Amino acid sequence: MEKEKLEKIKNLIRDIPDFPVKGILFRDLTTMLKDGEAFRLVCEELKNEYAGLGVTKVVGIEARGFICGAVLAHELGAGFVPVRKPGKLPADTVQKTYSKEYGTDVIEIHRDAINENDVVVLHDDLLATGGTMAAAYELVKSMNPKRIYVNFIVELEALEGRKAFPDGVDVRSMIVY
């Protein structure tokens, strides 16, 4: 993406100090999402990043990963698979407990969501410490897909979230702070 377009998107992301707890600087992407041109540019860049790689499923992390993840799946002609908090998916699931910046949580995915023929993009809006996405990666990996890509719109580099993934995992971020 052109540097000036990337800067426009970055400038639309709002900083919220002490949210959700004191000491956290929250990067609020909703201010970027409400700008039609910026939202279109982000979705277009995501599509360009994965076009031609044979992606068959996009896995979006609840809840902000659903927004661009669903658009990406549509643009690639792939299926969309949600990763959700417990009790939100109606069929048989597998789940993973993980640590995050300010506590622990659990996510789950339908047991039959991914198969060995799938090429998967795992998508979420932001990489901080990586706990949520690393848990999602482990869930998807346990289903033995052909390939897994990990994607974020924003990465908070100082929090070293990439270290949550094994060596060799393809992790891509559009904007790095």
40 is catalytic: no
Residue 144 CB neighbour total at 10 angstroms: 11
> Exposed, middle or buried: residue 34 (CB in 10 Å: 0-12, 13-18, 19+)?
exposed
Strand 57-61 versus strand 79-83 pairing type: parallel
* Annotated active-site residue in 49, 64, 162, 172: 64
Question: How far is CA 167 from its chain centroid?
Answer: 18
Q: Per the structure block, which two tokens stand in for 25?
A: 């600087």
Q: For the chain, how long is the longest CA-to-CA vector? A: 46
Contacts of 34 (CB under 8 A, 6+ apart): none
From 44, 62, 101, 138, the catalytic residue: 101
Q: Is 64 labeled as catalytic in the residue annotation?
A: yes
Question: Which residues are the active-site residues?
Answer: 64, 101
